[in-house]
Amino acid sequence: MSHADSAHAVTADAPALHPDYQADEAGFFGEFGGAELPPHLVEPMAEVAREYAAASADPAFQAEYQALLSKYVGRPSLLYYAENLSRKLGGAKIYLKREDLNHTGAHKINHTLGEALLAKRMGKRTLIAETGAGQHGVALATAAALTGLKCEIHMGAIDVAKQHPNVVRMELLGAKVVTVEEGGRSLKEAVDSAFGTYAADPEEYFFAIGSVVGPHPYPTMVRDFQSVVGREARAQILEAEGTLPDYLVAAVGGGSNALGLFTAFLGDESVKLVGVEPGGEGLEGTRHAATMTLGTPGVLHGMRTKVLQDAAGEPSAVHSIASGIDYPGVGPQHARLEQLGRADYVIASDAETLAAFQLLTRTEGIIPALESSHAVAHAVKLAPTLATDEIIIVNLSGRGDKDVDFVAELLAK
């Protein structure tokens, strides 16, 4: 389809979401999603679902959330035409959605603020979550400080040692960091520990999940809070180019920044959606986190989704150069979008990601997060195969300041 045809019926407001792209009442996107929970957590999670449904339909709640996005996060974020990079690659025009320019430097603040407002509305006093690399913990501690809630972050002992600066940030922001010494002392044990504490006192705590994962309503709720990214990008590209993009490209860990960008475009059938997963050191063995590519249906963290798992259904060990996307599961809506043929999922290896990190830094003076660099790496492959009037929007989910020491170490090798 030519741009003239596709632009014909396009208006600035995104089309309403087709039922294929919405969860049913039990939180299922087709066969994926739902709420697979131990009996004592069924009612607390159902309460979150009811309260979120009421809040999302309440104009006062939405207005309070929108005000925080514009006055605190700094939205709308820029949609930047990366002219140097596009010229260098010789093909499609590449635009970057600059979530790295948000307060705290990534997209996660979009949903932690929404979760904090919902927690307050529900009368909860403490936000609780697990964190791996610490990015979700810092974004949540920030939202807690702003909204006057307490915050408790569970973190494996190994991660506490590895991610020391983020532990300091969380504590400075007033959060209590609980070091988990059980088992492998990493993310999996931190999830169990945080969930256990929450389950013992769901009156006190609001469980604030950090991506479009977990039991219903989190995959829907976190997606809704992130969908501002795509609504802005859609209006911005129509303003800049007078047409819709040909491709959207985003890194996928749990999948929140990807769904944030994709959602407003789901009804625009001409726009191709591409999620990029960590190919790590290669797909043989376990030094990757390519859940969409190699995962099989299973249950993880309260949801039915695609999972990298062994024969016994235990989640596999995973790896990525970017610690924010090394997750053996994926948001259930991504599994559904793939099944519907609406989105494609590809991989970028550690080496391709590192090269893309350097390329963007040198050509545009923008240091991307290693997570976001996976999306840049795919755009580097895709752009030269396209015509110069085609358009790619890459979600630059976060800034790379947190990664510079690690990258310098890798480059020195």
| Residues binding ligand PLP (CB under 6 A) | 106, 108, 135, 211, 251-257, 324-325, 369, 371-372, 397-398
In angstroms, give the least distance from the CB of 54 to ligand PLP: 25
Nearer to ligand PLP, 245 or 398 (CB): 398
Contact yes or no for 296/309 (Cβ under 8 A): yes
Nearer to ligand PLP, 79 or 325 (CB): 325
By C-alpha distance, which of 106, 48, 118 is closest to 77?
106
Nearer to ligand PLP, 79 or 292 (CB): 292
> In the annotation, is 272 catalytic?
no
Environment class of 399 (CB within 10 Å of its CB; exposed 0-12, middle 13-18, buried 19+): buried
In angstroms, give the least distance from the CB of 222 to ligand PLP: 8
* Cα 342 to Cα 357: distance, rounded to the nearest angstrom: 28
Nearer to ligand PLP, 245 or 324 (CB): 324
In angstroms, give the least distance from the CB of 304 to ligand PLP: 18
Residue nearest ligand PLP, Cβ-based: 398
Render the burial of 230-261: b for 16+ CB within 10 Å, e for the rest.
bbbbbbbbbeebebbbbbbbbbbbbbbbbbbb
* Cα 373 to Cα 380: distance, rounded to the nearest angstrom: 10
Helix (H) or strand (E) holding 155: strand 150-156
> In the annotation, is 99 catalytic?
no
In angstroms, give the least distance from the CB of 372 to ligand PLP: 5
Instruction: Give the gyration radius of the chain's Cα atoms.
Output: 20
Q: Which of 186, 211, 320, 397 is the catalytic position?
A: 397
By C-alpha distance, which of 303, 311, 352 is closest to 331?
303
Q: Which of 108, 188, 306, 402 is the catalytic position?
A: 108
Nearer to ligand PLP, 276 or 386 (CB): 276
Q: Which of 51, 99, 115, 130 is the catalytic position?
A: 130
Nearer to ligand PLP, 199 or 410 (CB): 410
* Cα 229 to Cα 226: distance, rounded to the nearest angstrom: 6
Contact yes or no for 53/62 (Cβ under 8 A): no
In angstroms, give the least distance from the CB of 175 to ligand PLP: 17
> In the annotation, is 130 catalytic?
yes
Its sign, for the CA torsion 401, 407, 411, 413, is positive
Contact yes or no for 251/136 (Cβ under 8 A): no
* Cα 189 to Cα 224: distance, rounded to the nearest angstrom: 28
Nearer to ligand PLP, 352 or 386 (CB): 352
Environment class of 199 (CB within 10 Å of its CB; exposed 0-12, middle 13-18, buried 19+): middle
Nearer to ligand PLP, 93 or 374 (CB): 374
Q: How is residue 302 written in tokens?
A: 């309260």
* Angle formed at CA 367 by CA 361 and CA 371, multiple of 5 degrees: 115
* Angle formed at CA 272 by CA 86 and CA 388, multiple of 5 degrees: 30
In angstroms, give the least distance from the CB of 8 to ligand PLP: 33
Active site residues: 108, 130, 397
